[in-house]
């Protein structure tokens, strides 16, 4: 992971600006093995007599078109006047590499247990062998350079296995791009042009679409999706560079971006034609400031620049982190029902306490769903599917609710006369568009 400097810590915890530089990616260590889902119907299924649909290989056979993605929710429908909106919760993972520590399959198992979907922002370099690193030509950096490590061959195979399983179990595969260049240097993603972002995206896609050519492995099954169609959103390294990414993302047909720094728990708007879905400031128990909804930011506030602080701190920090997620969820669910976004990494910082914390929070939220609450654990793609069928005036009405603000008169009264909010919908989106263009 990128070491936090004292300069990077100035103002830490004081709000969104301080948190921008703290959404880093971690190194991946450890060993374990996990099987992937086969996608079959089980040994008890009787043959139908009809031929089974076969996969259509794409390109060099690294990916294949296999039809509609399994385990997707019902088609979304518009909210009716006076209806309570669902509480959407999106758990997402930056990097999405599996290096044998079992974290990727651990959270796939957790999601499967509770019928949930997640978003995995795959780093393209995690499918490129280090021996072929000179195929990567990062903008403003030497060929083959990367601020995250290349994976071993076995870890690439583990990553392929888990990405394949993730898609077959209904999860989204987005992108975390490639070399994870942060900071203020010339090579940082903060300074990339729209054209350079296009190069980075095309390379990230090529590493996914051509892993078979780059590795020479012919005995592994293809990834079961067309990445040109699957890829509709991403999150930039360290939440930097969104302004110049958005024009390119729009041209490529993306539907959302999750790179905004320091978002608030309110209903989202579009920027430059894409849904802007930021990490959010949430309560940080025992502190007067809020923290971004990501493991790295909790680490930074608890142990400054250390990923292995004294172990006697771990129980308290684990509980503080879990309660931050839980309080963030409860604040939205009990008030404005704004979607709740959580971002994490497959990491073992401070003894793995952040992985335990996010699992505790996930189980708490899943229990609310299982007790009958209209809580939906979805991917970003599934969430924007829902947003896209809502009436603009309804979304505008939802946007009038501030962080922690309950609808006046309750949900049965709220939005009954949603037409009055139609102007606010147009105004909010135009304001966001102008802000993006000015930047």
If phi > 0 it is left, if psi is from -120 to 50 it is alpha, else beta; for residue 258 that is alpha
Reported confidence tier of residue 184, pLDDT bands at 50, 70, 90: confident
What one-character DSSP code corresponds to residue 119? E
Reported confidence tier of residue 429, pLDDT bands at 50, 70, 90: low
pLDDT of residue 21: 37
Give the ranges where 281-419 is alpha helix by DSSP (H).
Answer: 295-303, 314-333, 353-370, 380-388, 392-399
Residue 258 reports pLDDT greater than 90: yes
Residue 117 reports pLDDT greater than 90: yes
Residue 7 reports pLDDT greater than 90: no
> How are beta strands 87-95 and 375-378 bridged, if at all?
parallel
Q: How far apart are CA 147 and CA 2, in angstroms?
A: 8
Least confident of 28-37, 58-67, 158-167, 284-293: 28-37
| pLDDT tens per residue across span 227-246 | 999 999 999 999 999 999 99
Max Cα distance, the chain (Å):
67
Judged by DSSP in three states, 356 sits in helix
Q: Percentage of residues in the chain with pLDDT exceeding 90?
A: 79
Do 35 and 22 form a contact (C-beta atoms < 8 A)? no
Residue 425 reports pLDDT greater than 80: no
pLDDT of residue 419: 54
CA 152 remoteness from chain centre:
24
pLDDT of residue 40: 35
Mean pLDDT, range 202-219, rounded to an integer: 98
Question: Which helix (H) or strand (E) segment is 103 a member of?
Answer: helix 103-113
pLDDT of residue 415: 85
Do 259 and 234 form a contact (C-beta atoms < 8 A)? yes
Nearest to 262 by CA among 245, 240, 286, 244: 240
Residue 15 reports pLDDT greater than 50: no
Residue 282 reports pLDDT greater than 50: yes
pLDDT of residue 346: 98
Calculate the average pLDDT of the chain: 87
What one-character DSSP code corresponds to residue 20? G
Residues, the chain: 439
Reported confidence tier of residue 8, pLDDT bands at 50, 70, 90: very low
Question: Which helix (H) or strand (E) segment is 200 a member of?
Answer: helix 194-209
| pLDDT tens per residue across span 380-423 | 999 999 999 999 999 999 999 999 999 999 999 998 866 554 44
Q: How far apart are CA 39 and CA 202, in angstroms?
A: 29
Least confident of 49-58, 109-118, 215-224, 410-419: 49-58
List the 270-271 sheet strands across, edge first: 256-257, 274-276, 270-271
Reported confidence tier of residue 333, pLDDT bands at 50, 70, 90: very high
Q: Percent helix, strand, coil in the chain (nearest 5)?
A: 40, 10, 45
pLDDT of residue 10: 27
Q: How far apart are CA 430 and CA 132, in angstroms?
A: 45
Mean pLDDT, range 204-220, rounded to an integer: 98
Nearest to 220 by CA among 166, 169, 164: 164
Do 429 and 270 form a contact (C-beta atoms < 8 A)? yes
Least confident of 29-43, 78-92, 127-141, 225-239: 29-43
Reported confidence tier of residue 261, pLDDT bands at 50, 70, 90: confident
Q: Which residue has the higher pLDDT, 396 or 41?
A: 396
Reported confidence tier of residue 81, pLDDT bands at 50, 70, 90: confident
Residue 131 reports pLDDT greater than 50: yes
pLDDT of residue 54: 76
Residue 5 reports pLDDT greater than 60: no
Mean pLDDT, range 284-305, rounded to an integer: 94
Q: Which residue has the higher pLDDT, 194 or 35?
A: 194
Does this model's pTM top 0.75? My answer is: yes
């Amino acid at each position: 992971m990128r070491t936090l400097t004292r300069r990077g810590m100035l103002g830490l915890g004081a709000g969104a600006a301080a948190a921008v530089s703290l959404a880093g990616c971690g190194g991946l260590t450890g060993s374990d093995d996990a099987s992937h889902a086969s996608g079959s119907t089980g040994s008890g299924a009787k043959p139908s007599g009809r031929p089974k649909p076969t996969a259509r290989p794409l390109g060099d056979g690294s990916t294949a078109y296999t039809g509609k993605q399994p385990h997707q929710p019902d088609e979304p429908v518009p909210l009716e006047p006076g209806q309570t909106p669902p509480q959407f919760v999106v758990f997402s993972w930056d990097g999405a590499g599996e290096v044998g520590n079992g974290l990727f399959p651990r959270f796939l198992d957790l999601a499967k247990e509770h019928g949930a979907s997640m978003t995995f922002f795959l780093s393209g370099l995690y499918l490129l062998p280090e021996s072929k690193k000179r195929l990567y030509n990062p903008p403003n950096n030497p060929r083959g350079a990367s601020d995250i490590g290349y994976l071993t061959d076995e870890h690439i195979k583990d990553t392929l296995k888990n990405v394949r399983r993730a898609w077959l179990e209904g999860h989204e595969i987005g992108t975390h791009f490639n070399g994870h260049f942060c900071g203020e240097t010339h090579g940082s993603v903060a300074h990339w042009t729209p054209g350079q972002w296009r190069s980075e995206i095309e390379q990230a896609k090529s590493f996914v679409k051509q892993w078979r050519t780059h590795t020479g492995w012919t005995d592994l099954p293809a990834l079961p999706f067309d990445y040109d169609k699957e890829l509709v959103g991403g999150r930039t390294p360290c939440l930097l560079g969104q302004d110049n990414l958005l024009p390119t993302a729009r041209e490529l047909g993306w539907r959302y971006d999750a790179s905004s720094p320091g978002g608030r728990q309110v209903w989202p708007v579009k920027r430059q034609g894409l849904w802007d879905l930021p990490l959010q400031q949430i309560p940080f128990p025992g502190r007067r400031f809020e923290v971004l909804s990501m493991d790295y930011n909790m680490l930074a506030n608890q142990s400054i620049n250390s990923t292995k602080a004294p172990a006697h701190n771990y129980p308290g920090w684990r509980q503080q982190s879990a309660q931050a997620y839980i309080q963030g969820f409860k604040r939205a669910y009990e008030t404005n029902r704004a979607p709740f976004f959580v971002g994490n990494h497959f990491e073992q910082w401070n003894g793995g306490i952040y992985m335990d914390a996010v699992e505790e929070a996930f189980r708490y939220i899943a229990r609310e769903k299982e007790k009958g609450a209209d809580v939906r654990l979805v991917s970003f793609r599934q969430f924007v599917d829902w947003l896209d069928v809502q009436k603009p005036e309804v979304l505008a009405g939802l946007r009038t609710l501030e962080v922690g603000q309950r609808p006046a008169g309750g949900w049965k009264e709220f939005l009954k006369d949603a037409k009055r909010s139609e102007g606010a919908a147009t105004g909010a989106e135009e304001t966001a568009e102008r802000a993006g263009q000015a930047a």
